[in-house]
Chains A and B, each alone.
Chain A
Amino acid sequence: MKTSRVLFIFSLLTSTLFAQSDESMDALLDTFTHKSDLSEKTRLAYAGNVIIDTREELKRFYMSVEYLF
């Protein structure tokens, strides 16, 4: 019983470590998008009276200003 429990914990730990070291680029990009989305949602939820510019809008604005100079 004890041996099986130890084996279970060991396999759980190794699989977690393996999963962390071998994260695919797709998974990383998904996490990056998801976390950015969450911060965006929190902003929208808490700042109802503030005009929010999207990342795309800011980037386009920056590019147009950079083009002028």
Chain B
Amino acid sequence: MKQLSLLFFLSLQLLAFDTKTASKIFDKIFTAMLPKQSIIVYTPHKEYAEVIEMAPSLVLADTYTEADIILVDHLSDISPNNMQTIFTTNPSIFKRDERAVGAFYWEHGRPKIIFLQSRLDAKRMTLSKSFNRYIVKKLP
């Protein structure tokens, strides 16, 4: 029984993800991208769906067609014909896919936020001044 409870505790630790803080971060990022009271976000990932549901200014969409922003982690999640605004948690998508205006991912053990100026311009998006340091002119 002791071993079982220890195993249960360890499995909980392995699944640890700071959903509460992540929801605050995504809330700030998406409200900076779109000046709306409530922003509709679609994500096919269960983990990020929980994050969106916890965020005060974000509403989780059932389908991508009604979404203002699509949050993705894999290229297979997005149809090539879909031209909606994409935000990704995968740096490789950010580098390769022109629809991805920004990304939030881990780099060298630190969470990193990045936006590409040309893609923001193409979507006619202007972020608040506090986000200036996250905007780059060239892909890393």
Interface set of A (CB-CB < 8 Å, partner B): 23-25, 28-29, 31-33, 35-36, 39, 42-43, 46-47, 54-56, 59, 63, 66-67
Contact = CB atoms under 8 A, between A and B. Distances in A.
A59 B91 CA distance: 9
B108 interface: yes
A59 to B, nearest CB: 7
A21 to B, nearest CB: 10
Interface string B25-44: 10010000000000000000
Interface of B: 6, 9-10, 13-14, 16, 18, 21-22, 24-25, 28, 74-75, 91-92, 105-111, 113, 130-131
B25 A28 contact: yes
A22 B74 CA distance: 32
A25 B10 contact: no
A54 B110 CA distance: 12
Residues of B contacting A: mostly: helix
Residues of A contacting B: mostly: helix
Contact of A47 (B10, B21, B75): B10
B139 to A, nearest CB: 15
Given A23-B24, A25-B130, A42-B13, A35 B18 contact: yes
Q: What 10 A-B pairs are tightest by C-beta distance, nearest first?
A: A39-B16, A35-B18, A32-B21, A31-B21, A55-B106, A63-B92, A28-B25, A42-B13, A29-B111, A28-B24
Contacts of B21: 28, 31-32, 35
9 contacts: A25-B25, A29-B111, A31-B18, A33-B111, A35-B16, A35-B21, A42-B13, A59-B106, A66-B92
A3 to B, nearest CB: 34
